[in-house]
Chain A
């Protein structure tokens, strides 16, 4: 069966420090991968999505970047965190496209201090 792993679960980082959040999927190949930020009243904001290795679509211009170095690995990064980067980050995958269901990781609560 397919599983998605996202870590760490919580993270407290100082302003100006780098960030690396990792997401991996098991049990499937060539998934679509997504990074979202969830904030109260704003739903799930799509940050990045990827349909294949090295293919990244950026939806929101900001202080973050994403990479997909391997088929089932999706990384969210920042060189210098801002206070406004605090939030709850969710990784998700879909098998293919169209009407397939998305499956979400447990999320990372990031607090920038």
Chain B
């Protein structure tokens, strides 16, 4: 069965420091991959997605993610974190026929310290 693993439940970084959130997926074919962010009291917002082509994808708010097939990973990165980035981040995979089944990971809560 398809699954998404986000190994880090909580991460704390200093404002201005770099960030990497890990995501590993389990799926036999090339998946559709997504990162979403949920700010406190807000709905989920799409940061970026990957389905083919360049394995390094750029998203909104200065985020990027790299698809590594050999590692079944799709890690999210940002070179310099801002206090407003504090939120919960979800990795997701579109699996099954035509990617219809959208499966999310458990999420990583990012805390930013000043």
Contact = CB atoms under 8 A, between A and B. Distances in A.
Nearest to B99: A98
Contact of B102 (A46, A105, A107): A46
Interface stretch (B14-22, B69-77, B78-86, B103-111): B103-111
A32 B100 contact: yes
Contact of A101 (B49, B97, B106): B49
SS of B interface (majority)? strand
Contacts of A99: 32, 49-51, 94, 99
A43 B106 CA distance: 4
A42 B98 CA distance: 25
B39 to A, nearest CB: 13
B106 A42 contact: yes
Contacts of B107: 41, 43-44
Interface string B41-56: 0011010011100000
A53 interface: no
Interface residues of A, number: 24
Interface in A20-50: 32, 34, 36, 41-46, 49
A32 B95 CA distance: 13
A96 B90 CA distance: 21
Contacts of A94: 102
Q: Chain B CB within 10 Å — which of A51, A102, A106 has the most?
A: A102
B113 interface: no
B59 to A, nearest CB: 12
Contacts of A98: 32, 51, 94, 98-99
Interface of A: 32, 34, 36, 41-46, 49, 51, 57, 59, 92, 94, 97-99, 101-102, 104-107
